[in-house]
Chains A and B, each alone.
Chain A
Amino acid sequence: MKIRGWQIDGFGHFHDHRETDLPDGITVFLGPNEAGKSTLLAFLRGMLFGFPTGRQNRYEPLHTRHMGGKLFLEAPQGAFILQRNGDRKEGLKLFRPDDTLGSEAELAQLLGHADQGLFKSVFAFSLSELQNFDVHKEAGIKDRIFAGSLQGGRNTAREALVQLDKENAPIFKPRGREVELVKLSRRLDDLQTAIQEARNRALDFERLSAQEDALRETLARLAREQAALQHHSERQEILLLAWPKWLERASLAQELERLEVVPHVPPQAEARLAECLSTLKGLDASLSELHLEHRELSQHLSELNSDPQLEPLSERISSLAADATRFHDWLQALAENAEQRLQAQGELEAMLATLGPSWTRIRLEAFDASIPALDEVSRWESRLDAAEAALAEASREVKAAKQRREMASASLEAQHRRLAQLGAVEPSERVAEQEQRLMRLRAMTAMHREGVSEQRQLDDKIRMLEIELTRLPSGEPIPLPRALRLGLWGIAALLLALGVWKGLSQDVITAVGLLAVAVLLTGLSRFKTKSSGNEKAARALLANQLQAIRERHTELGLQLDSTLAALREDGRAAGLGESPTPVAFEALAQAIEAAKTRLRQHEELGHELERFVMEEREQEAAVGRAQEGLRAAEAERARVIEAWQRWRQEAGIEEDRTPKAVALLFQALTSARQFLATVSTLEAGGEALSQKADGFRTQAHRLLTDAGEALPAGDMALVQALARLQERLAADRLVRDQRDALKRELQSLTLKLEAKRTEREKAEAALAKLFAEAGATDEVSFHQRLAWHAQRQSLLRAIQDLDRQLEELLGRDAQAEALREALHAEDVDSWRQTLAEAQIAQQGLLAERDDVNQDLGQLLKAREEIAQASDVIAREHAYQALLDEFRRQTRAWLVRALAEDMIQETLKEVERTRQPAVLSHASRWFGEVTEGRYQRLVQHAGDFQVIDSQENRLEVEKLSQGTAEQLYLCLRLGLIQEFARQSANLPLIMDDVFVNFDPERARRVAELLVAFSSEHQVLLFTCHPETARLLQEVQPDVRLVTMARYGGHGAEPLERRAVVKQG
């Protein structure tokens, strides 16, 4: 941003004052004291950041009521007009390049967010402000110095600290009273108190428990009294309840006295009498029925008769009747057996005819054609087949071996031909020797070449060292002639005196030049004297080096001669002459390679030939082995055939048959033997059946004879006669069974009649005994005595029942006795009176108990409420919740505070250790201004130190005032440069800062400012024309604005003119 001009409506003694078209570089405002330079500086500050108010405002307009004006600004976006007046509300207006109104934030952006303090300290300052040594300690300035180092990725450390402080301040400050943590801790204290109060209230529980114990004791006492009264009432009630029963018992006892006593009544007398009478009547009826039945049975028995002859034969008749059915089956089976036997005998005859005439039934039965014999025939067949197969295989093997032998002979012949084609080859030892020689030749040639090269380099070095040695003096120092040295000293003294005189006459430059030449002359004479010692040492060093190189050269020459001799000898031996060339080496190498290839081929063919010879020999041997195997196979077959013939003859087979034919014969013989077995089985079965049928006939004839029956003719008639005899036997058995049954029945009836008679006699005796027991003589008197007895028993039971009821009421203990005595006394009215009184007393006790119970209920309810009350726990929960919140906030505060500490610590570390760009610029410019007297600026313990050309450190306080001001000016220039780089390029405005600078330093400062103004606008107020002049000298086209004294109201318009270079 540049300031192009201003319009002052009213400010101090300025009114309607206007300045425009200020350039980019330096503008000098030259005016005498009271021209308004300081006022103008204050105006510019006020326009940009606000006018001072109240007592601070020393610039109230003298000639108008309106304080303020306009600033004409230029920024990269275009020309802005900043308008400000004393009215705070409507004070500021910023007109954009397009004449629209901008905001205060836009102004801040134009100013790179520099605040008033920073602007006043760095950009717009007076001489007194320049002298302020503490300016660099302000945080804002400090940040600018270290701007690059304090920057995070996006934000500065200061911004981060501000943010953290903003978040943490409301939570906790070490001495803050109304911060959040303090408030929370107070609330926690309050809750703790409330919890304690609630706990104290719970102590009432114990007091109520004590009251409960007292009430329960009262209840127990009332219960005891109540029990006593209850007992008394109950006694009276018992007497009143027992009294009617007591009277009834007495009446019954009198009635019992009046009845006749029956000493004994038989038990169950009525029932027993009825039972005796009933038994007698039943027995009489039974006796009559038994007599009648006995007569009828006797009659029937006499009418039944049986046959005595049949009984002894009954078992034989039954047995033969059972065998008659089987007899019929035997006859039928005999017929079937005869038929089957005829058929089987026919088939056997046919089979024997097939086998041949020599095969009869007898030979067939004797011949063994079992399965083991068959297996042996199979084994003979296998052995004969195996002998045949082995013979065929041996023949094939002989043929194949002969073919392989012929192929091996052909291969061997072909290999002989290939070897003959290759021809003769060189011996391998000679080829290897040539190869070794070639390698040696090549190595020696390379060594010789390198040795020659090194020898040449050594020659060059020897020559150079010799030349250098000759250039050096002989080694003795050459002092300057005394006259010359005195002359030089004299000239130096003269120049020194002249310089001092020039210095006194203020021609500083000439004086300094003269002094410098004097010092140079003095130093020249001393230098020459010192240099002579150094040359001597250099000469000795060179001589040593030369000697060492020469020795190496000689040694190398000897080595080269030896190598060359060996080279020539090997060259001759290899046939390459004494000076073999690389081309000759290559030809020899190819020849060696060709010889090696032929050697390898010859060797490979030889190996193959040996292999073929071996192969042919092996095949010849194989043919011999195959023929021998063939002979063995033929012998084996003959031996097996002979053995078979022997076995066949021993087996009874006379015909010359093969094993297969013998096996077929064995199968036919096996079938024939099966037919033979069938015939034999049928013949044996027919014989057995005939024997059984004959036995049956014999037994049947004997039985019929014994039973008196006639003998029938034929097997069927025999069976029918047996059936008839069996029917006769069955009818006779039925008659005999009926007779036996009737006899048994008659015997039983006789026994029953006897028993009934005995039973009737016993019943009559029992009835007589019953009457006797009751003291009666007959049935009528018996009934009369029983009635008397029953009435007495009834009275006795009633009395017993009353006794039991009285006992239930009165009890059995001593108290019961007392009650009985009271009943004897018969004082009924007294009992009623006492009961009424006890009941009244009881009601009183019950009322009292109800009252106590009510009190107890209320007490228990109160205690239950305390027991159920959860206010303690509720408050403890609330306390805990608040404590959690307190801890959460504390932790968050702690994290932020630690983050703040980390950033603060890093800030200190960065300030301590890093050389920022600001100091780098300032160091350079300060060195230029002081002509290298001071080299650089450093930071130490928060302050600056300067390092001079001798590397001495100096505190700023130890610098002269002018030098210190130059230092702070350079620092400000550095800050402005860095601010421009990072934020905004703002103008530098200074008020008479050259006052304490000496002319030389002033010029250098002027040069610095001119150079600085190439990038930054500079407005310089001064009352010293020489300052303006100096700047004009450094930069002739500098803009100069002159100001009149009292330049505000009533002064002549400002004059603008160029300043003519003076002197």
Chain B
Amino acid sequence: MRYTFVHAADLHLDTPFHGIGQVSPRIGDALRDASLDAFDALIALTIRVEARFLLLAGDLYDGINRGIRAQHRFLRGLERLGARGIKTFIVHGNHDPLSGWSAIKHWPEGVHVFGAEAVESHPLQHDGETYATVHGISYGQAAVKENLSLRFRRGPEPGLQIGLLHANIGQNGDHAPYSPASLDDLKRAGLDYWALGHIHRRQVLSRAPWVVYPGNLQGRSPKSSEMGPKGALVVTVDGGRLQEPRFEPLDRIRFVSLEVDLSTLVDVSSLQRTLMEAAEKQQAEDGGRHLIIRATLKGRSALYTELRHPGRLDELLDVLRQEGDRPGTFLWWEDLRNDAAPNLEREKLLLQGSFTSELLRLQNERLADPASVERFVGNRLEQLSRFKSLLPPMSEIEHEALLREAEALALDLLEKD
């Protein structure tokens, strides 16, 4: 028997994008609808590949107060699958626990939502023969610290055995440690395929058994785990054997990062041209999708001073945004980061015995001592303490990066023509 199923997770329907900044109304509309459009694409994919069932591994919505618009759209999608005899299996995760408010009173035909009390098993039959069994459990509350994977066991039913779970496997530090489990915990359950959710970066943790995170459906911020293609996995089972899951990109807007070396560029207009060319090349590689771009400027260049001038980088960003906000697919420049350095040789400056040399000496001493870095940056952060709720927590690495940027700025001010 040969059949196909689709595995997706972390839909986060109708949630705002982070780190995008002010956008034009047209792009704003596209951003607002992106997660829902990606979900529609998931439904279309499931129908197109004639899947027997769809697995959704949690975090369908972003928060406990799920948006009505999102739930409405979600319901319509599942109805389309139900009308074609395609079943849907759902578990809820930390962002959308079962305790959250739901506008959906009745699920369409063929939808099964797993409860939070115990692992349920749902056999699937075709022509009177059981060909697969889906085991799953939802989060009752947002913060589930129990290792839920330990509750899963292979059942007596014949055919493929699938575990559907929202969990953090292997203590991934970028995500909250909900339902923490190790790969060995999963292997002990004796299942054939673990359809996981929670980690937004797509990854195959094991091939025997298959332990798979499909990643989220639509990137939502310029974080590294949200960058690049996002979508779902199409899994084919032929004669009881699982084939390599095939990734299908479904994102409508894609986050990408570009890096441009300033050292060979002579002026701002050549930088603008270089950036646009790089972005258009990237867009062609990404199948002509809408792109949200974070560009980082690198290298030593006299352009650093030009771009450091108050408002100059913002002006360039405005020009790029206007150019990118064009009919059809857009290129939205999320940020231009000036990580370049002035065209100054630090080592030479350090040895010339000037005020700048003294500044660099003190900076070297500071960077060699993490406590000193913490103290130095902490003094200024203390002044911003009233905005604490609005600012993201900063790591030691970020503190050091701030100091390096500040150093480049100070050098520029002291040494520029």
Contacts and interface: CB of A to CB of B under 8 A. Distances in A.
B368 interface: no
A874 B417 CA distance: 46
Interface string A875-915: 01101111111111011001111110111011001100000
Contact of B103 (A167, A205, A895): A205
**Residue from B335, B359, B362, B407 whose CB has the most chain A CB atoms within 10 Å:** B359
11 contacts: A152-B354, A167-B310, A870-B14, A870-B69, A873-B15, A877-B17, A881-B22, A881-B23, A902-B410, A903-B410, A906-B359
A622 interface: no
B404 to A, nearest CB: 9
B215 to A, nearest CB: 21
A160 B16 contact: no
B359 A902 contact: yes
Interface stretch (B244-252, B264-272, B276-284, B385-393): B385-393
A153 interface: yes
Interface size grouping (class) on chain B:
35 or more
Contact of B405 (A149, A876, A879, A895): A895
Contacts of A172: 383-384
Interface size grouping (class) on chain A:
35 or more
A902 B363 contact: yes
A157 interface: yes
A155 B17 contact: no
Contacts of A866: 68
Interface of B: 14-23, 28, 31-32, 65, 67-69, 71-72, 103, 105, 310, 335, 344, 349, 354-356, 358-359, 362-363, 376-377, 379-381, 383-384, 387, 390-392, 402-403, 405-407, 409-410, 413-417
Interface of A: 149-155, 157, 159-160, 163-164, 167, 172, 174, 181, 185, 188, 199, 202, 205-206, 209, 864, 866-870, 872-874, 876-877, 879-888, 890-891, 894-899, 901-903, 905-906, 909-910
A898 B415 contact: no
Contact of A153 (B19, B28, B356): B356
Contact of B406 (A163, A902, A910): A902
B384 A890 contact: yes
A910 B363 CA distance: 14
Contact of A906 (B21, B310, B358): B358
Contacts of A181: 384, 387
A886 B310 contact: no
A247 B16 CA distance: 79
A816 B392 CA distance: 81
B32 A153 contact: no
Contacts of B417: 154
A887 B387 CA distance: 10
A870 B416 contact: no
A880 B16 contact: yes
Nearest to A181: B387
B21 to A, nearest CB: 5
Contact of A205 (B68, B402, B414): B68
Given A205-B103, A899-B407, A199 B16 contact: no
A164 B19 contact: no
Nearest to B35: A873
Contacts of A909: 358, 362
A906 B358 CA distance: 6
A767 B390 CA distance: 117
A906 B362 contact: yes
B235 to A, nearest CB: 32
B409 A896 contact: yes
Contacts of B32: 870, 873-874, 877
B362 A888 contact: no
Nearest 6 pairs of A and B residues by beta carbon? A152-B414, A898-B406, A153-B415, A160-B413, A867-B72, A876-B16
A201 to B, nearest CB: 10
Given A202-B68, A880-B19, A898-B405, 13 more contacts: A153-B344, A160-B414, A174-B383, A181-B384, A866-B68, A868-B69, A874-B28, A874-B32, A877-B17, A890-B387, A896-B409, A901-B406, A903-B414
Contacts of A885: 21-22
A199 B18 contact: no
Contacts of A901: 376, 379-380, 406
A155 B414 contact: yes
Given A151-B355, A866-B68, A899 B410 contact: yes
Given A151-B355, A157-B414, A185-B387, A884 B105 contact: no
A159 B67 CA distance: 54
Given A153-B356, A888-B21, A890-B384, A163 B363 contact: no
Given A199-B65, A874-B28, A894 B362 contact: no
Contacts of A898: 376-377, 380, 402-403, 405-406
B106 to A, nearest CB: 11
**Residue from B21, B354, B414 whose CB has the most chain A CB atoms within 10 Å:** B414
Contacts of A869: 68-69
Contacts of A882: 22
